Amino acid sequence: MKAIDKMTDNPPQEGLSGRKIIYDEDGKPCRSCNTLLDFQYVTGKISNGLKNLSSNGKLAGTGALTGEASELMPGSRTYRKVDPPDVEQLGRSSWTLLHSVAASYPAQPTDQQKGEMKQFLNIFSHIYPCNWCAKDFEKYIRENAPQVESREELGRWMCEAHNKVNKKLRKPKFDCNFWEKRWKDGWDE
Amino acid sequence: MKAIDKMTDNPPQEGLSGRKIIYDEDGKPCRSCNTLLDFQYVTGKISNGLKNLSSNGKLAGTGALTGEASELMPGSRTYRKVDPPDVEQLGRSSWTLLHSVAASYPAQPTDQQKGEMKQFLNIFSHIYPCNWCAKDFEKYIRENAPQVESREELGRWMCEAHNKVNKKLRKPKFDCNFWEKRWKDGWDE
Ligand SMILES: Cc1cc2nc3c(=O)[nH]c(=O)nc-3n(C[C@H](O)[C@H](O)[C@H](O)COP(=O)(O)OP(=O)(O)OC[C@H]3O[C@@H](n4cnc5c(N)ncnc54)[C@H](O)[C@@H]3O)c2cc1C
Ligand SMILES: Cc1cc2nc3c(=O)[nH]c(=O)nc-3n(C[C@H](O)[C@H](O)[C@H](O)COP(=O)(O)OP(=O)(O)OC[C@H]3O[C@@H](n4cnc5c(N)ncnc54)[C@H](O)[C@@H]3O)c2cc1C
C-alpha cells in the first residue's frame, strides 16, 4: 500500500474498515470522526500495508492503537506521546460521562437543575467533536426532547439515545432495564 | 479484613489508598468520588483481604478493576456486566471529552459559540458526578474565567485547569506547549 499524501487531489472515499472517510472543512481527514485504523490509512501511517493487521482489524505490535509503550513526551518522566482519541475512544469516553451524569442526577431535581440539564445536552450536541455524530444527536434531541423530570427519566432517555446510535452503527440494543446497574449501582447489590 | 457493612454505625474514614472515603448525602459510599479499590474496601467487596493486591495497589486476577471477562448481562450476547466507573476512569473519560472539545473549537468562534462554551463549562462544573471534584472545578472557573476567544486560548485554559487538578492530586505538571499534539494533531505531523 502506498502512503497517501494528505494533500492529494484524489483523497480516498473509503477506509480499510469499509466506512466512508470523513474530512474536515479544510480537507484534512478528521481524527475524531474516523476510526484510528481508517485515519492511519488515509494519512499514510500504515506503511507496512495490511501485514500488521490481526484478525480483529487492530494493528498488532505497534502499540499504535493503545498508546501503550509509546515514547515519553520531551521533558517529561511521566507523560507519554499518546495520540488524540479516534471516534470510538471519544465515543466511549463521552458515553461514560453522559450516563454517569444521568446516574448522579437528582431523583427530584429543582427547576434550575432541569433547565441546566436541557441546556447541557443542547450545547453538547453543538460542540461534540465528531461533527457528523453531533448533527445526528442534535436532530435526535429535537425530535425526542430530553426527559429531565427525574434521574429515572433522564437515565432511560440517555439509554434510548445511546441505543439510537447503536442502531445506526448496527450494534446490539442495550436493555435499558439495566442502565442503573451499569452506570449507578453496579451488579453486586 | 472484615467485610464492612454499608449501614455500619462507624463507617471507615480512610480507604486502602490512604485517601479519605467520600460518602453521598444518604451515607452510602460514592462510587464516582472514590477509587474502585477504596470503594470495594468500604463496601466489603474485597473479601480476600490484601492477598490479591499487587504492588501497584491493583486487584490481581479478579478482573474487578477492568471489567474484563465479566459475565454477560441477562438476555445479551454482547454486553457484559461492567461496573460503573470509579473516580479515575470517570476523570480520564471526562478529560478526553473536554480536551477534544477544545481541540475542535473554532480558531475564530462566533459570539454564540463563545457564549455556549462558557455555559457548557459552567454547567459541567455543576453536574460533574464526583461532587467534591465539581465543587473545586466550579471554584477554579470562578477565579479563572474560561478563555474562549479562540481554540488556542481554550486549549491552554483547559490544560491549565487540568494541571490544577494534577497539582491537587500530586501528579506531575503537563507541559501545555504540547496540548495540541496530545489532543488535536498527534505526534507524527
Ligand atoms: C452523542 C454521541 C453520538 C455518537 N454518534 C456516532 C456516530 O454517528 N457514528 C459513530 O461512528 N460513532 C458515534 N458515536 C460513538 C459510538 O456511539 C461509540 O461510542 C463507539 O462506536 C465505541 O463503541 P463501543 O462499542 O466501544 O461502545 P459504546 O457504544 O461507546 O458503549 C460503551 C458501553 O456503554 C454500555 N452501553 C451500550 N449501549 C448502551 C445504552 N443504550 N445505554 C446505556 N449503556 C449502554 C455498554 O456497557 C458499552 O460497552 C457517538 C457517541 C456519542 C457520545
Ligand atoms: C473537572 C475534573 C475535576 C477533577 N477533580 C478531581 C479531584 O478533585 N479529585 C480526584 O481524585 N480526581 C479528580 N478528577 C480526576 C483526575 O483529574 C484524573 O482524571 C484521575 O485521577 C485519573 O488520572 P490519570 O492519571 O489516569 O490521568 P488524567 O489526569 O485523567 O489525564 C489523562 C491524560 O491526559 C493528559 N494530560 C495530563 N495532564 C494534562 C493537562 N494538564 N493538559 C492536557 N492533557 C493532560 C495525559 O496524557 C494523561 O495521561 C477530576 C477530573 C475532572 C475532569
Q: Which ligand is nearest to the CA of A87?
A: 1
Give the domain CATH number at A157: 1.20.120.310
Binding-site residues of A for FAD sit at 88-95, 99, 128, 159-171, 182-183
pTM of the model: 0.87
Of A123-127, A184-188, B143-147, B172-176, the range with the lowest mean pLDDT is: A184-188
**Domain boundaries, position A28:** 10-46
To test the contact with chain A by mutation, choose from B41, B43, B100 the residue with the greatest count of A C-beta atoms within 10 A, namely B100
**Single-letter amino acid code for the residue at A65:** L
Same domain? B118 vs B170: yes
pLDDT (0 to 100) of residue A189: 59
Q: Which long-range contacts (CB under 8 A, 24 or more apart) does B145-151 make?
A: B145/B118, B146/B117, B146/B118, B146/B121, B148/B105, B148/B109, B148/B113, B148/B114, B148/B117, B148/B118, B149/B109, B149/B114, B150/B105, B150/B106, B150/B107, B150/B108, B150/B109, B151/B102, B151/B103, B151/B105, B151/B106, B151/B107, B151/B109
**Single-letter amino acid code for the residue at A138:** E
CA dist A133 and A95 (Å) reads 13
What domain count does chain A have?
Answer: 2
Could you tell me if residue B59 is inside a domain? no
Specify whether the CB–CB gap between B34 and B21 falls below 8 A. Answer: yes
**Percent share of chain A, pLDDT over 90:** 62
Of A23-32, A139-148, B137-146, the range with the lowest mean pLDDT is: A23-32
Q: List chain B residues with CB under 8 Å of A162.
A: none
Q: Which H or E run includes A118?
A: helix A111-127
Mean pLDDT of B61-84: 76
Contacts of A158 (CB under 8 A, 6+ apart): A98, A99, A102, A179
Q: Tell me which residue of A72, A37, A42, A152 sits closest to B175, measured CA to CA.
A: A72
Same domain? A95 vs A167: yes
Q: Tell me which residue of A140, A148, A118, A90 sits closest to A156, measured CA to CA.
A: A148
Specify whether the CB–CB gap between B174 and B163 falls below 8 A. Answer: yes
ipTM: 0.89
Pull the grid cell for residue A129: 467533536
Assess whether pLDDT exceeds 80 at residue A64.
no
Q: Which residue has the cell 441505543?
A: A163
pLDDT (0 to 100) of residue B1: 37
Same domain? A110 vs A177: yes
Q: How far is the CA of B95 from the centre of ligand 2 (A)?
A: 6
Specify whether the CB–CB gap between B130 and B90 falls below 8 A. Answer: yes
Specify whether the CB–CB gap between B57 and B19 falls below 8 A. Answer: no
Assess whether pLDDT exceeds 70 at residue A165.
yes
Q: How far is the CA of A89 from the centre of ligand 2 (A)?
A: 16
Assess whether pLDDT exceeds 60 at residue B48.
no
Same domain? B36 vs B90: no
Could you tell me if residue A34 is inside a domain? yes
Same domain? B21 vs B104: no
Q: List chain B residues with CB under 8 Å of A186.
A: 31, 83-84
Mean pLDDT of A79-97: 96
Q: List the single residue in B90, B123, B182 with the smallest CB-CB distance to A82.
A: B182
Same domain? A108 vs A158: yes
A33-58, pLDDT tens digit by residue? Answer: 888 888 888 888 775 445 444 444 44
Same domain? B129 vs B177: yes
Assess whether pLDDT exceeds 90 at residue A187.
yes
pLDDT (0 to 100) of residue B83: 94
Same domain? A93 vs A40: no
Nearest chain A Cα distance for residue B18, angstroms? 22
Mean pLDDT of B58-73: 57
Contacts of B134 (CB under 8 A, 6+ apart): B125, B126, B127, B128
Assess whether pLDDT exceeds 50 at residue B3.
no
**Percent share of chain B, pLDDT over 90:** 62
| Pure H helices in B44-130 | 87-103, 111-127
Maximum C-alpha span of chain A: 58
Same domain? B28 vs B111: no
What sign does the CA torsion over B80, B98, A85, A165 have?
A: positive
Could you tell me if residue B24 is inside a domain? yes
Mean pLDDT of B94-116: 98
**Closest alpha carbon within chain A to B180:** A84
Pull the grid cell for residue B153: 486560548
Residue A74 φ then ψ, to 5°: -55, 130
Q: Tell me if residue B5 falls in helix, strand or coil.
A: coil
pLDDT (0 to 100) of residue B51: 41
Q: Tell me if residue B72 falls in helix, strand or coil.
A: strand
The residue whose CA has the least distance to atom 45 of ligand 1 is A174
Q: How far is the CA of A173 from the centre of ligand 1 (A)?
A: 11
Assess whether pLDDT exceeds 90 at residue B79.
yes
Same domain? B116 vs B177: yes
The best mutation among A37, A92, A100, A170 to test binding of ligand 1, ranked by most ligand atoms within 8 Å of the C-beta, falls on: A92
Label residues A153-166 b or e (16+ Cβ within 10 Å = b): bbbbbbbbbbbbeb
Q: How far is the CA of A94 from the centre of ligand 2 (A)?
A: 15
Q: List chain A residues with CB under 8 Å of B104.
A: 32, 127, 129, 131
CA dist B123 and A116 (Å) reads 6
Residue B14 φ then ψ, to 5°: -135, 145
Same domain? A31 vs A89: no
Ligand 2 atom showing the smallest separation from residue B161 Cα: 41
Could you tell me if residue A173 is inside a domain? yes
Same domain? A109 vs A169: yes
Q: List chain B residues with CB under 8 Å of A171.
A: 78
Pull the grid cell for residue A145: 426532547
